[in-house]
Amino acid sequence: MVQSLLALAPTLLVLAFFLLGPFNWSRHKSWARAVTCVFVAAIALRYLIWRFTETVLPYPTDGANFYWVWFVFIAEFLAFSEVVLFLILMSRYVDRSSEADDLERKFFAGNERELPAVDVFIPTYNEPLDVLERTIVGALALDHPKDKLKVYVLDDGRRDWLKTFCEGRGAIHVTRSDNAHAKAGNMNNGLRASSGDFIAVFDADFVPYRSFLRRTLPFFLDETIGIVQTPQHFFNVDPIQSNLGLENLWPDEQRLFFDEIAPSRDGWDVSFCCGSCSIARRKAVDAIGGFPTESITEDLLTTLSMLNRGFKTRYLNERLSMGLAAENLTGYFVQRERWCQGGIQTLYLHNGPLRGPGLSLFQRVMFLPMSWLVQYLVRFIVLLIPIVYLWFGALPLYFTDVADYVSNQVPLLAAYFLLMFWLTPTRYLPLVSTAVGTFSTFRMLPTVLSSLVRPFGKPFKVTPKGSSNEENSFDAYTFTWIAGFIVVTALGLLINIVPETARIEGSFSAIAALWSGINIVVLIIASLICFEKPRRLLQAFKLDEAVKVDGVEGRLVSLSLDKAVVAVSTETRFKSTKVGLNIEGFAPLEADLKQVTQRRGDITRTGDKQRYYLHLHYDLRGAERDKMIVKLYTGRYSRDVPDIDKIAVSVNLLLRAFGRTRTA
């Protein structure tokens, strides 16, 4: 009993520290972050010392198992290195919004005619009109003097219909004779066709908010700033949210980076350009010879090349644009494989973190693609360890007793999970976050290995978006791997329950059984992501605005480019299914009443009163459609998930496992 209490003492110390310290501190204070991260780093170092001195060095040199023990430890050491870098990074926090307020007043205080000229680049290759029109119309609506703003649609698809669309809206359509160097080459061609002082870049599927330039341009008063990057937010659900049935309950997969990690990187002056939703100083771009073409991730390499010349990248963590997240698993992996390969490519380049001139040692370390190199290997080994033990009896370490294990590993797990809960309270749940990472492992680990061997072996590939996107499909490849691991792990448990077939004995078997059970649960959740759900091309925004339908007052609760949902009293009647919808700022819209649903009070604040929900469909053209694009996509609405309802997430995951979903 005493030994058990002593084994739990380090974990209790961790719990006490977080209850008395971080959970009472603001996570936005750098001193609080620094103290907490140092504490967690100390716990991690204690664990690593124990692992090396007590569970690796004492292991006898007895053949294959000896090498297995060392292999597992080396993987853990790599994971430890990544965690330490993460802790250093997250020990600082900066919020540039108040700085942006002060700079904005100063920057725009003078004569409007003295404001700098801005060129907006929209590089495109094969995106359809339903994707491009939002971006082009939104860019043209930017709050900046029109004689100082030019929008360039850089069309590597050389499409006549796009040229006609641009001419009708006032955008400049630019083409070239070939598609050399993909996106980077396209933007370099745009440099030759333009002359503005600053270059804002938006991918073909991202719509800038009207205030984008007012918030970002003032940072360039500092002559050392080469790029200002803003976060990427999305107006659709990504395949992780959709396939898990967590559309309104779980944030999109990139929120952890853009909301939490990116601001901390900025605190250390190691922010990097993410391509879209950024603005660059033309002088800085010219100083590096244009956008770099050596890597398929020209954005990251642009940051590194500018650092070589003394120009920094600044990060403003404000929602200043919205775009399309990858709409299915094909697009999801096209994106991530490109990012992974591009990050690894920088290791081999003259302007990368290892060889680039002008970088400090700290900058070199922080720009190493450690996350890409380590995370998928470690996740794979975590799945493999209990299987190797259950089937072959091969221990991953020199094991003494359970109490020793509990005393050293459990405090580390507790410290890490509590740190993540504190730092990212609305972006992280251990089980779901681990399942998402595990799901990606089976496709991304081969990409990591191939990129290390042949870093320039795959060409740039555009992420499919919009109506040109391929149909949703079942990810049979990933599911086969996941199902295989589930079966092998479960069979390993079963054969060791029966004494006649058991291959293991000793205290570690209890830990292996628990480990296996957790792995199976994680793999089951990961397997749900493989089953794609149908997607909607035009995403609707939830809102609450007064409207009239044929003169009847109602509340507009949902709106998209082709449909509105209006709540009205149940006493309401219409003579025809052809009705007039009056939205403030618009001429009356001719709409078809195609469906009427009924439920109790919600956003309309009607208590328990029954309401009719009118589903109104319309077909907007020309100026009215452009006006609706500006209304919907340039700053008034969002689809962000502000918080995580842990109970609702659990219920929906359970329902999804049985083929059903219930969204909030």
The enclosing domain of 611 has a CATH number of: 2.40.10.220
* CB neighbour list of residue 188: distance below 8 Å, 6 or more residues apart: 181, 290, 291, 293
Residue 119 designated active-site = no
Cα–Cα distance for residue pair 234/463, rounded to 1 Å = 15
Q: What is the pLDDT of residues 381-396, one digit of tens each?
A: 999 999 999 999 899 9
For 480-540, give the DSSP string. Answer: HHHHHHHHHHHHHHHHHHSTTT----STHHHHHHHHHHHHHHHHHHHHHTTSPPP--SS--
Q: Of the residues 273, 302, 321, which one is the last residue of a structural domain?
A: 321
Is residue 490 included in any domain, yes or no? no
- β-sheet bridge partners, residue 16: none
Which tens digits make up the pLDDT trace of 350-379? 999 999 998 999 999 999 999 999 999 999
Q: Is 653 in contact with 557 (CB distance < 8 Å)?
A: no
- Residue 661 is predicted with a pLDDT of 58
156, 252, 266, 475: which is the annotated catalytic residue? Answer: 156
The token pair that represents 216 in the structure block: 């970002």
Q: 131-175, pLDDT tens digit by residue?
A: 999 999 999 999 999 999 999 999 999 999 999 999 999 999 999
Residue 426 maps to a domain: no
Pick 407 or 426 by higher pLDDT: 407
Which of 299, 321, 343 is the C-terminal boundary of a domain?
321
Nearest to 344 by CA among 371, 362, 364, 326: 371
Q: Between 314 and 60, where is the model more confident?
A: 314
Q: pLDDT, tens digit, for every residue of 581-633?
A: 999 989 999 999 988 887 654 433 444 457 889 999 999 999 999 999 999 99
Final residue in a domain of this structure, among 297, 321, 345 = 321
Range of the domain at 618: 541-636
Q: Which of 203, 259, 266, 299 is catalytic?
A: 299
pLDDT score recorded for residue 664 = 46
pLDDT, tens digit, for every residue of 102-137?
999 999 998 888 999 999 999 999 999 999 999 999
Report if residue 653 sits inside a domain. Answer: no
Question: What is the mean predicted confidence (pLDDT) over 222-240?
Answer: 95
The secondary structure of 393-436 as a DSSP string is ---SS----HHHHHHHHHHHHHHHHHHHHHH-TTT--HHHHHHH
Range with the poorest average pLDDT among 99-113, 231-245, 349-363, 529-543:
529-543
The reported pLDDT for the residue numbered 3 is 64
User: What total number of domains does the chain contain?
Assistant: 2
Tell me the C-alpha distance between 386 and 366, whole Å: 33
Tell whether 358 is covered by a domain.
no
In a domain, 178, yes or no: yes
pLDDT of res. 603:
39
Above pLDDT 70, what percent of the chain? 95
Asked whether the predicted pLDDT for residue 98 surpasses 60, the reply is: yes
190 belongs to a structural domain: yes
The answer to whether residue 500 sits within a structural domain is no
Integer angstrom CA distances of residue 69 from 62, 171, 518, 587: 11, 62, 22, 72
Residue 299: active-site member = yes
The residue written with tokens 């659900």 in the block is 237
Distance CA 505, CA 107 (A): 72
CATH number, residue 261: 3.90.550.10
pTM of the model: 0.92
Mean pLDDT (the chain) is 92
Ranges of H-type helices in 424-475: 430-453
- N- to C-terminal Cα separation, the chain: 46
Mean pLDDT value across residues 301-320: 96
Domain assignment present for residue 139? The answer is: yes
